[in-house]
Chain A
């Protein structure tokens, strides 16, 4: 199972909005609504930010939102803050009853 495709890095200034894409195939991301997004700060465990494409767990800021169109999912962060600087990973359920992650995107807040 190949990894989902994410941009290696994105950047934005405080207050701006950014979007991170995650591209898969019809056998994974495009075929199911089990897409999740995780935030990971250096040396820390990942944290779930979005599940089932667009749902936010309790306690996650509403500045984070998720969507999907075809074989591509997106994570949008609005009102960018310094604390949002981290690595972000998408994941998807696959037709093989496994999970696959994206390669990760490093978000830099300028």
Chain B
């Protein structure tokens, strides 16, 4: 069955970096776009970024542009998010999701938690 498993979260100091991963299985990963969405504690959902199936087109929320980089390795069925210059407001659960129809998030992983704290 379709499965997305996020990893790479943890506790990081302000200004630090992390690389999140999303391992995909059960579907043709190289055929679909992929999203990252985050949710701060007790808050709503915030869309972060989207990458098209071939990795050539990438889109970012203004709040993360220049600090976050989305990428994918279709040979490894894995989605990535490089997060630099971390701030307290980046503390959240980060979800990856499949965009079967590009601009909807059709299947979600369980998320990985990023905590930015000194």
Contact A101 B46 (CB under 8 A): yes
Interface residues of B (CB under 8 A from A): 35, 37, 44-47, 50, 59-62, 95, 101-111
Contact A46 B47 (CB under 8 A): no
Give Cα A97–Cα B104 distance, bound, in whole angstroms: 13
- SS of A interface (majority): strand
Contact A48 B106 (CB under 8 A): yes
User: Which B residues are CB-close (under 8 A) to A97?
Assistant: 59
- In the assembled complex, the CB of B30 is this many whole angstroms from the nearest CB of chain A, namely 21
Contact B46 A98 (CB under 8 A): no
Contact B110 A45 (CB under 8 A): yes
- 21 A-B contacts, Cβ less than 8 Å apart? A1-B61, A3-B44, A38-B105, A45-B95, A45-B108, A46-B37, A46-B105, A46-B108, A48-B104, A48-B105, A48-B108, A52-B104, A57-B106, A93-B103, A97-B59, A98-B60, A99-B103, A101-B45, A101-B46, A103-B44, A104-B44
Q: Mark A36-51, 1 if CB is under 8 A from B, else 0.
A: 1010100001111001
User: Which A residues are CB-close (under 8 A) to B60?
Assistant: 98
Q: How many residues of A contact B (CB 8 A)?
A: 25
Give Cα A51–Cα B108 distance, bound, in whole angstroms: 14
Say whether A64 faces chain B, with CB atoms less than 8 Å apart.
no
Contact of A51 among B35, B62, B101, B109 (CB under 8 A): B101
User: Which A residues are CB-close (under 8 A) to B47?
Assistant: 91, 98-101
When A and B form their complex, which 7 residue pairs have the shortest distance between CB atoms, in order from nearest?
A51-B104, A99-B47, A34-B103, A45-B108, A104-B44, A36-B104, A93-B103
